[in-house]
Amino acid sequence: MMVNMVENDAMDPETDVDELRLAFRPRRIATLSAKAALFALPVIAAVAGCATNVSPGTVTTAVSPASSPSAAPSSPVAVCTGAQLSGKVSHAGSQSSAPFAEIVLTNRGPGSCQLSGYPQLTAWGPTGHGPSAPLKTVLTRGSTYEIPDAGPRTVVILPGRSAWFTIGTGTAYGSPILVFDRVVIDVGSTAGGKASQVNVALSMNANSPLGKAIPVTVTAFAPGLPPKP
């Protein structure tokens, strides 16, 4: 009996092959599992690294840094001085005993300059038979009888360009009529702190209430040239 059993086992090759397959399969599965684990480690590490840098529910977007503007701020424009400006009367006239003159100031300097607000000026003229001298006047800011006032502003005058204003007087007061032969306009200060001046020649009648200063009205500086009449 024992011999027959041994012989039967030796004579059954299919049984031996099946047993070998079953014995080899777990080892192969284990080997493949180990290789897969080694391959997955870098991926898991990368995912873990991303997870530590991004909080849950946060969406991140890569944005290239914006270029900052390279233009430097413009330097401030200096106040015009008498050395830069020349002045002349552009247009003059009189209506209803209210003489006026439009005065243009032109920038003859190499750079831009600015004027602000209203002109400060002194009227000159002969008194009696004497030479021309400063006259006693009182300045009022606003519209003249003929020319409306646009209001104070800062006017930047480029080289070769101009600004203008109007001066107005009256001749219906009780005192004798005087003649303005020039006005002296105070503009930007000199190095010593004294106001520099622009002289403008003109011929303009004016008088005043008895015993009082001559009323003179000035409009604010305006850019460019006065409108043509």
**In the listed set 13, 33, 53, which residue is the last one of a domain according to the structure?**
53
Same domain (yes/no): 100, 195: yes
Q: What is the dihedral of CA 215, 144, 100, 151, to 10 degrees?
A: 110
Q: Which one-letter DSSP state was computed for residue 36? A: H
Percent of the chain surpassing pLDDT 90:
59
pLDDT of residue 87: 98
pLDDT of residue 92: 97
Same domain (yes/no): 34, 123: no
For the chain, how many structural domains are there in total? 2
Query: Six-digit token pair at 122?
Result: 């002194």
What DSSP letter does each residue of 123-190 carry, written as one string?
EEEE-TTS-EEE--EEEEES--SSS------EEEE-TT-EEEEEEE----SSSPPEEEEEEEEEEEE-
The residue among 77, 169, 78 whose CA lies nearest residue 123 is 169
Same domain (yes/no): 89, 197: yes
The verdict on residue 158 lying in a domain is yes
Same domain (yes/no): 138, 27: no
Q: How far apart are CA 217 and CA 144, in angstroms?
A: 6
pLDDT of residue 59: 36
The verdict on residue 229 lying in a domain is no
> Residue 169 in contact with residue 98, Cβ under 8 Å?
yes
Full residue range of the structural domain in which residue 161 is found: 85-223
Same domain (yes/no): 127, 204: yes
pLDDT of residue 204: 97
Q: Which of 48-57, 82-91, 117-126, 191-200 is predicted least confidently?
A: 48-57
The verdict on residue 109 lying in a domain is yes
Predicted TM-score (pTM) of the model is 0.68
Same domain (yes/no): 96, 208: yes
Percent of the chain surpassing pLDDT 70:
68
Same domain (yes/no): 102, 159: yes
The verdict on residue 16 lying in a domain is yes
The verdict on residue 66 lying in a domain is no
Same domain (yes/no): 30, 105: no
222 has pLDDT over 70: yes
State pLDDT tens for residues 54-66. Answer: 444 333 333 334 4
Same domain (yes/no): 113, 160: yes
37 has pLDDT over 70: no
154 has pLDDT over 70: yes
Same domain (yes/no): 196, 94: yes
Same domain (yes/no): 92, 192: yes
The residue among 158, 156, 139 whose CA lies nearest residue 219 is 139
Mean pLDDT (the chain) is: 79
**In the listed set 12, 31, 53, which residue is the last one of a domain according to the structure?**
53
Same domain (yes/no): 45, 117: no
16 has pLDDT over 80: no
The verdict on residue 92 lying in a domain is yes
Q: How far apart are CA 227 and CA 229, in angstroms?
A: 6
Q: Count other C-beta atoms under 10 Å from residue 42's C-beta.
A: 9
Tracing tokens 């030479």 back to the chain, one arrives at 131
Which CATH number characterizes residue 147's domain?
2.60.40
Q: How far apart are CA 87 and CA 221, in angstroms?
A: 13
The verdict on residue 165 lying in a domain is yes
State pLDDT tens for residues 177-207. Answer: 999 999 999 998 877 788 899 999 999 999 9
The verdict on residue 68 lying in a domain is no
pLDDT of residue 13: 45
